[in-house]
Amino acid sequence: MRVSHLRLSLIAAALLLLQTLLPARWSWAQQPQAPPSNQQTQNPPAQPQQTTPAQQPDQTAPEAGGPGNDNGPIAIPKKAAPPAPPPPEPTVKNPPGLNNYSLRVDVPVVNVDVGVLAEKTHQFIPNLKQDNFRVFEDGVPQDIVSFHQVKAPITAVLLVEFAANSYNFIFDMWNSAFEFTQQLRPDDYVAVVTYDMHTTILTDFTQNKMMIQQAVQSLQMPTWDETNLFDALYETLDRLSRIDGRKYVILVSSGRDTFSKITLDKCLQKIKATPNVTIFSIATGGAGIMGGGGFASGRMNTITMLQAQNQLQSFARMTGGMYFEPRFDAELPDDFSAINESIRNQYQITYKPSNIKMDGTYRRIRIELVDQEGHPLRMQDEKHKPVKYDVIARDGYKAKEQVE
């Protein structure tokens, strides 16, 4: 009986302990359940998962730099705050519809090719210095910014007259063209153009001497009587204006014009407005003056002859070229040698004009040679005899205009 009484006491103590522990334990795990939907009524409700307080997720925000997970934040040391970026530079925005623009300042410079040739032999005089040259524009001295001697291949147009009323001059034209091609170099470019009433391009720019000579020899029987020199020269200059670099025109002509649409005044304006072109004029028919043929035997009277020669001289002088009036065929080799010497050996002078107005006016250029003391330069040959020389340069240029 005593043993059974002891068991009852132990059972009663266990029940009392259970009554005190069960409410507290169920309070951690028991959660309110949402009412089951119609679809969940067929399945029994899931048993509540019991978790201890140590396993309960920490809902506090993790420290900066440590992402949180189901077991709490991962501890990562805080990084030092980066320095504040500098304030952005202020930007200026254009009004709507206005794009960005650039400002360009056009500082004009003038390039002048100068040839210094001995008056008697037409040989180039080398070894001159920058201090030996004085440049004047409209009578005002100019400051030279660059100076050097150049030797470059040539780009030239052989412009020859081929008309029926100048049949006596065809042999002069043939001889002139032959002598010209004989002195060409492999890197030279030459085109051949003839004119009568119309302008005809026999060969475009080529380096083939044989092709040039064959084109000239193909001229046998002229057709038209008219010699439209002004039209032919105007068209040639217009084509050359599209080519870069220094260009030359070897004009073999009687110098007369009979039926051109372009007047002499417009032709001279075209010469002034075309940069980097030098004209060398060779008057044909000179041998006939002494023999009674040529100019005198045709429609060319004395006044017309003098006017024609003056026109050819003006074309050469304005562009810094040379004028030749051979009276015999034997003079042609020397004349073309002088042309070749002048073209291939030149002094190139660059200066900034003091007159910077862009008014489209024609500015006159004058080149003088001086010694170290500023006096006119005097030269002597090996025998200490004075040497006369010619300074060959274009007499001016046309200034740019605002609309160009």
* CATH number of the 152-344 domain: 3.40.50.410
Contact of 216 with 160, CB cutoff 8 Å: yes
**Three-state SS at 213:** helix
Q: Which range among 29-43, 68-82, 94-108, 122-136 has the greatest average pLDDT?
A: 122-136
Residue, of 76 and 281, whose pLDDT is higher:
281
What pLDDT, on a 0 to 100 scale, did the predictor assign at position 106? Answer: 60
User: What would the pLDDT profile of 156-184 be if each residue is shown by its tens digit?
Assistant: 999 988 876 656 666 766 777 777 788 88
Asked whether the predicted pLDDT for residue 290 surpasses 50, the reply is: no
Q: Which residues lie across from 367 on neighbouring strands?
A: 135
Asked whether the predicted pLDDT for residue 136 surpasses 70, the reply is: yes
User: How confident is the model over 344-367, as a mean pLDDT?
Assistant: 90
Q: pLDDT category, 248, cuts 50, 70, 90? A: very high
How far apart CA 201 and CA 205 sit, in angstroms, is 10
Q: pLDDT category, 339, cuts 50, 70, 90? A: confident
> What residue segments make up the domains of the chain, in order of their start?
107-151+345-404, 152-344
Closest CA to 181 of 366, 339, 10: 339
What pLDDT, on a 0 to 100 scale, did the predictor assign at position 25? Answer: 45
User: What would the pLDDT profile of 79-116 be if each residue is shown by its tens digit?
Assistant: 566 777 877 766 656 666 656 655 555 668 898 989 89
Q: Could you tell me if residue 174 is left (phi over 0), alpha (psi between -120 and 50 degrees) or otherwise beta? A: alpha
How far apart CA 106 and CA 163 sit, in angstroms, is 46
User: How confident is the model over 20-30, as a mean pLDDT?
Assistant: 48
User: What would the pLDDT profile of 386-402 be if each residue is shown by its tens digit?
Assistant: 889 989 888 898 888 87
Only one residue has tokens 């081929």, namely: 162
User: What would the pLDDT profile of 43-60 be if each residue is shown by its tens digit?
Assistant: 444 454 544 444 454 544
Q: pLDDT category, 365, cuts 50, 70, 90? A: very high
What pLDDT, on a 0 to 100 scale, did the predictor assign at position 36? Answer: 47
Residue, of 219 and 189, whose pLDDT is higher:
189
Q: pLDDT category, 250, cuts 50, 70, 90? A: very high
Which residues are CB-neighbours of 346 under 8 A, at least 6 positions away?
113, 114, 115, 149, 150
User: How confident is the model over 285-313, as a mean pLDDT?
Assistant: 62
Task: Specify the DSSP class assigned to residue 211.
Answer: H
Q: pLDDT category, 65, cuts 50, 70, 90? A: very low
Contact of 247 with 155, CB cutoff 8 Å: yes
Rg (CA), the chain: 50
Only one residue has tokens 């007047």, namely: 263
User: How confident is the model over 212-235, as a mean pLDDT?
Assistant: 84
- Burial class, 153, CB count within 10 angstroms (exposed 0-12 / middle 13-18 / buried 19+): middle
What pLDDT, on a 0 to 100 scale, did the predictor assign at position 7? Answer: 66
